[in-house]
Structure 1
Amino acid sequence: MKKQNIKKIGSLLGILLLGSLVAACDSNESDKITNASTDAPIKVGTMGTYNPFTFVTPDGKLTGYDLEVLEALAKEDPSLQFEFIASPWDTLFPGLESDRFQLLANQITETPERKKKYLLTHNQYFNATSQFIINSERTDIKTLEDLKGKKVGLTVGDAHTLHAEQWNKEKGNLFEIVYYESDLPTILQDIENGRIDATFNDPIVAREKAEAQGLKITPFGQTILSVPTYFIAKNDEQGKDLIDKLDKGLLKLKENGTLSELSLKWFGVDYTQNRAG
């Protein structure tokens, strides 16, 4: 065989070998991209200041009832891996819209605006109650009618605020509303100090925060409202797939009793049954 032919064959083999290596590298890179996409955790926006539903432990871990429900869902479906991110209330929905989060978990109830704009799980995981809250040493407020002419502090944009506004309107604007941009602890402190007379919120949360702050705060009167809470995702294809997985998982947690067990663990009462009127 001529040397020239040998060189040609050698060159051809070199090209084929190089092509195989490039194809293998492309395949490996493709596998890495696929795995990275599959393994990427779902980023969950939550306040981390709404104890006992979502809060930060002394060692810096985000936990609470809402987050433990998601962790239980991850055990049912390994494709659901979550990363919890603490963020103020007024940043949660903008964060969902900007893809900073793929899911919100913060005792969120349904409103017409939220239902129209976002995707909510069909299945609830808790029933949030709303009640008026006052200084436990007040003797002049014994019934809801005693709120007449009083100042009630409410957080802007909160679901409890929307319900309080509606209730107050139905009662002929019984009390004056003082709006706060800040979270519930500030409102409770102002109740303690006499700057306002009451607020309207979840009694479980109010008690937890009052005890943590050493405040003399107590719910009073009957429960005004009991409404389901849901996980919320962005209204797109990724959100639809996520909500579908969460709904399937929530059904399993209800059927096997896990959801009730978590409620009993955190509150001593099963708040997972639908008690909404």
Structure 2
Amino acid sequence: MKKLFTTFLLLSLLILVTSCNSSPSSSNKGVHKIIVGTGTQFPNICFIDDNGRLTGYDIEVVRAIDKLLPDYEFEFKTMEFSNLLLSLETNKIDMIAHNMAINEERKKKFLFNQETYNYSPLYVTVDKNRNDIQSLKDLEGKKVIVGATSNAAVYLNKYNQKHNDKLTIIYAGQGADDATTQLKTGRADATLATPFAVDFSNQALSFQQKVVGDIVINSKVYFMFNKSDQQLAKEVDKAIAKLKKDGTLTKLSEKWLGEDYTVEEQ
């Protein structure tokens, strides 16, 4: 009798464990928190608004993706742009949302998703009162300021390799060393910027800039991940495809960037 009772008890426990393991709630391993590295200094892309809230096109796209992926929770971590790649490499963040374009150096270390969510046309940008610069060639012998690890910096360094270092490239910092201040004081002759960034700056500051000439680089923009996060990148791609189809991306681009930059400008 005792042996029969023991057998019955073991069978009951086995059934209980099996039923628990097969239930939807327990098979769900829980929500995965994704730390998204971004910045606060990129006008209309990722910045702090007048109410102290982190917002901008990239931020709101991630928030829209978050709503479509219930198995993930996206949390922002802000930092200097120059720290983003190292933070991703050392697993302090899981993803970068900062108008990132593909280049060979980045591809060696990191993973990009497949669906572009933006195009970022960069133009030569100068003091609004300057008329002697209309193209990249006009900058030969002059100073161009860009972010140290930006795609613009990669492009200009390649330009210098082909043209005997005719450009003097300097790198932007914060405060008195940022691109706008350097242009205003004349310590730099030009930078590379998007029309929407220039428009935002012109609305906020008395110092006025303008874009000139043709597009220098029209980069496709993606999110960045560690190479081990293939599944996350695929899920983000599915979400972006839905946001394109239902018009959300276009609406966000028109709101934050002034026009639809989700399609390639010719």
Q: Closer, same or farther in 2 for the Cα pair 1:180/1:258, shift >3 Å?
A: closer
2:253 is matched with which residue? 263
Paired residue type of 2:230: K
Q: Partners in 1 of 2:42 and 2:253 — Cα distance?
A: 16
Tell me the CA shift for residue 249 of structure 1. 1.0
Q: Closer, same or farther in 2 for the Cα pair 1:63/1:40, shift >3 Å?
A: same
**Candidates 113, 119, 123, aligned match of 2:115:** 123
Tell me the CA shift for residue 40 of structure 1. 4.7
Matched residues, percent identical? 29
Q: Closer, same or farther in 2 for the Cα pair 1:161/1:112, shift >3 Å?
A: same
1:4 is matched with which residue? none
1:166 is matched with which residue? 158
Cα deviations by residue, 1:125-149 (Å, 9 ceiling, x for unpaired): 0001111111111233345443232
5+ unaligned residues in a row in structure 1: which ranges?
1-8, 10-15
2:6 is matched with which residue? none
Paired residue type of 1:61: R
Q: Closer, same or farther in 2 for the Cα pair 1:104/1:154, shift >3 Å?
A: same
Corresponding residue SS for 2:227: coil
Q: Partners in 2 of 1:188 and 1:214 — Cα distance?
A: 11
- Provide TM-score, normalisation by structure 2: 0.82
**Candidates 220, 224, 232, aligned match of 2:224:** 232
Corresponding residue SS for 1:124: coil
Cα deviations by residue, 1:36-73 (Å, 9 ceiling, x for unpaired): x6235311100121120111123332111011111111
**Candidates 18, 25, 30, aligned match of 1:38:** 30
Cα deviations by residue, 1:173-222 (Å, 9 ceiling, x for unpaired): 44222233448971211111111111123332233234323212111111
Tell me the CA shift for residue 113 of structure 1. 1.7
Bigger mean CA offset, 118-127 vs 260-269: 260-269
Bigger mean CA offset, 162-171 vs 148-157: 162-171
- Is 2:195 the partner of 1:203? yes
Corresponding residue SS for 1:41: strand
**Candidates 265, 268, 272, aligned match of 2:262:** 272
Matches within 5 A, 1:11-30: none
Q: Partners in 1 of 2:98 and 2:27 — Cα distance?
A: 31
User: Which of the pair has more CA radius of gyration?
Assistant: 1
Q: Partners in 2 of 1:97 and 1:60 — Cα distance?
A: 29
- Is 2:99 the partner of 1:99? no
Q: Is this contact kept in 1: 2:31–2:72, CA < 8 A?
A: no
Q: How many residues get paired?
A: 251
**Candidates 53, 57, 73, aligned match of 2:49:** 57
Q: Partners in 2 of 1:234 and 1:139 — Cα distance?
A: 44
2:232 is matched with which residue? 242
Cα deviations by residue, 1:224-248 (Å, 9 ceiling, x for unpaired): 1111010111111xx1111010011
Q: Is this contact kept in 1: 2:32–2:71, CA < 8 A?
A: no
- Provide TM-score, normalisation by structure 1: 0.79
Corresponding residue SS for 1:123: coil
Corresponding residue SS for 2:131: coil
Q: Partners in 2 of 1:166 and 1:154 — Cα distance?
A: 14
Bigger mean CA offset, 71-80 vs 121-130: 71-80
Paired residue type of 1:100: K
Q: Partners in 1 of 2:218 and 2:62 — Cα distance?
A: 22
